[in-house]
C-alpha cells in the first residue's frame, strides 16, 4: 500500500514539474534573467557604442549586490555596426537561439525600426530604445516602453531658446536623412511655425556622405545665424570643422546624441566649444548621489581600463533603470505580462535622468508609453564641461 502511495506521489510530482516547465517564461530560470541589447561598437556610429557597455556594467553591479530576487541578470550584447540588417540578424539569433526575456536600450532609430515589429509580434518587452523617435509611441505598443525624450521636443526646446533667449531669427538645420533626422526636422519646423518663422535651410546628410563641403556651402548661403545639427557624431564634427574652415560661424545647436561634451571637444579638437545641446541625463561631474553611486559601484568596478565616464556611457544605465525597477517590483514570480503591468504603474520614477511615468496601455494615447518628457539645455565650454542654461523642462 505504501509503495502504491509513493508511486502516486511521484507521478503527481512529475506532472506538477512538467506543468511548471510548460509555463516557465522564456529567458527566465530559477537563477537567471536573460536580457538582450545591441549597440554599434564599430562603424559610423561607434561613438555611441559605450551605451551598451554602460548597461553591462550596471547589470554587473546589480549582480554583485545579489541580483534581483535571487536571479542574476545575464546581459547579451552584440555589435550591429549601426546596420539595420545586422540588428535584425543579431536579434533573431539571440531570441530564437538563446531566448531573451526582454530587450533593453538598443542604439539608433533605423536599427530599432528594423526589429520593432518582430519583438512586438512576439509580445517581448523592450524598454528604453536609445533613440528619441516618435515611432516607438505612434502608435503605442503594449510591450514597448520608451525612455528617451523625443527628438521632436528637443528640437522644439532648442528653437524656442534660440528665438526667445538669444533673439535669433534665421535658423537652419542639417539632418541625417532618415527617421532620426526627420524627427528633429519635424519638431523644428513646427516650433518655428508656432513662432512665426521658417527654417532658412534644411540640408539632408546621408550616413554615407564623407565630403560635407556642399552641405556647409548651402547652410552658409542661407545666411543662417543658428544651425541645428541632427546627425551622427562624426558628421556633426565634420560640419562644424568644415564650417570653421569656410569662415562660417553660426551658433550651432544639437540634439542629445551629440551632448557628450568631453568626447565632442576631444574629437573636434576644441571646435565643439560654444555648442548648445539638449540633454536627458545629469552632467558627468554632477554631485547627484545616485550618479556618484553608479560611478563608484558600476563604472569604477566593472568598466574596461580604457573606458571613459561620460554621458553616452551612463546613458546605458539611465535607459535600463526603469526595467530594473520593474523587475524588482514584480518580485520572484516573474512573467512578461506581470512586468508590463508593473511598468505601467511607474509614476514619477526618478533615476539619473528626468522623471519617468507610464500609464495603463491606451492605443489612442502615445504618452501611455513615453516615459521621459523632460530635457534641459547645456552649453559646451572650452574644457569640455557643460554649462547648464536651463532647468529640467517639459515642452508642451
What's the pTM?
Answer: 0.86
At residue 4, the pLDDT reads: 54
Length of the chain counted residue by residue: 396
Asked if the model's pLDDT at residue 10 lies above 80, the reply is: no
Q: What is the per-residue pLDDT across 242-298, written as a single tens digit (0 to 9) for each?
A: 999 999 999 999 999 999 999 999 999 999 999 999 999 999 999 999 999 999 999
At residue 18, the pLDDT reads: 42
Q: What is the mean pLDDT of the chain?
A: 93
Asked if the model's pLDDT at residue 385 lies above 60, the reply is: yes
Cβ–Cβ under 8 Å, residues 262 and 183: no
Asked if the model's pLDDT at residue 3 lies above 60, the reply is: no
Confidence band, pLDDT 50/70/90 cuts, at residue 216: very high
Q: Where is 262: in which H helix or E strand?
A: helix 261-267
Cβ–Cβ under 8 Å, residues 181 and 173: no
Averaged pLDDT for residues 317-335: 97
Averaged pLDDT for residues 177-200: 96
Q: Is the dihedral of CA 94, 96, 99, 101 positive or negative?
A: positive
At residue 44, the pLDDT reads: 82
- Look up cell 523617435; give the residue: 133
**CA distances to 40, 97, 237 from 13, in Å:** 47, 30, 64
Q: Where is 229: in which H helix or E strand?
A: strand 226-230
* Cβ neighbours, 10 Å, residue 129: 27
Confidence band, pLDDT 50/70/90 cuts, at residue 395: confident
Amino acid at each position: 500500500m505504501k509503495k502504491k502511495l509513493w508511486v502516486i506521489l511521484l507521478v503527481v510530482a512529475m506532472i506538477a514539474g512538467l506543468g511548471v516547465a510548460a509555463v516557465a517564461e522564456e529567458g527566465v530560470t530559477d537563477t537567471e534573467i536573460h536580457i538582450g541589447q545591441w549597440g554599434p561598437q564599430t562603424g559610423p556610429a561607434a561613438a555611441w557604442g559605450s551605451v551598451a557597455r554602460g548597461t553591462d556594467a550596471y547589470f554587473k553591479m546589480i549582480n554583485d549586490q545579489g541580483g534581483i530576487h535571487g536571479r542574476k541578470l545575464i546581459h547579451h550584447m552584440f555589435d550591429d555596426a549601426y546596420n539595420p540588417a545586422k540588428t535584425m540578424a543579431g536579434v533573431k539569433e539571440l531570441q530564437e537561439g538563446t531566448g531573451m526575456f526582454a530587450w533593453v536600450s538598443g542604439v539608433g532609430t533605423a536599427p530599432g525600426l528594423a526589429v520593432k515589429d518582430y519583438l512586438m509580434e512576439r509580445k517581448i518587452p523592450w524598454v528604453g530604445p536609445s533613440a528619441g523617435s516618435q515611432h516607438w509611441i505612434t502608435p503605442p505598443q503594449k510591450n514597448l516602453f520608451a525612455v528617451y525624450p523625443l527628438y521632436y521636443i528637443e528640437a522644439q526646446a532648442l528653437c524656442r531658446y534660440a528665438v526667445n533667449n538669444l533673439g535669433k531669427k534665421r535658423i537652419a538645420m542639417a539632418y541625417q536623412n532618415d527617421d532620426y533626422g526627420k524627427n528633429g526636422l519635424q519638431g523644428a519646423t513646427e516650433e518655428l511655425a508656432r513662432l512665426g518663422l521658417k527654417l532658412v535651410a534644411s540640408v539632408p546628410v546621408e550616413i554615407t556622405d564623407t565630403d560635407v563641403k556642399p552641405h556647409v556651402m548651402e547652410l552658409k548661403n542661407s545666411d543662417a545665424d543658428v544651425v541645428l545639427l541632427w546627425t551622427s557624431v562624426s558628421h556633426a564634427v565634420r560640419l562644424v570643422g568644415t564650417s570653421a574652415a569656410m569662415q562660417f560661424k553660426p551658433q550651432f545647436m544639437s540634439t542629445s546624441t551629440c551632448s557628450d561634451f568631453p568626447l565632442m571637444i576631444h574629437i573636434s579638437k576644441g571646435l565643439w566649444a560654444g555648442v548648445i545641446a539638449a540633454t536627458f541625463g545629469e552632467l558627468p561631474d554632477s554631485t547627484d548621489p545616485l550618479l556618484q553611486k553608479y560611478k563608484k559601484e558600476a563604472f569604477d568596478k566593472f568598466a574596461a581600463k580604457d573606458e571613459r565616464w561620460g554621458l553616452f556611457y551612463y546613458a546605458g544605465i539611465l535607459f535600463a533603470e526603469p526595467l530594473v525597477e520593474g523587475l524588482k517590483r514584480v518580485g520572484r514570480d516573474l512573467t512578461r505580462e506581470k512586468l508590463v503591468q508593473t511598468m505601467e504603474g511607474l509614476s514619477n520614477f526618478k533615476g539619473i535622468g528626468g522623471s519617468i511615468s507610464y500609464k495603463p496601455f491606451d492605443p489612442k494615447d502615445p504618452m501611455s508609453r513615453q516615459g521621459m518628457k523632460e530635457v534641459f539645455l547645456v552649453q559646451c565650454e572650452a574644457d569640455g564641461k557643460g554649462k547648464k542654461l536651463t532647468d529640467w523642462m517639459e515642452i508642451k
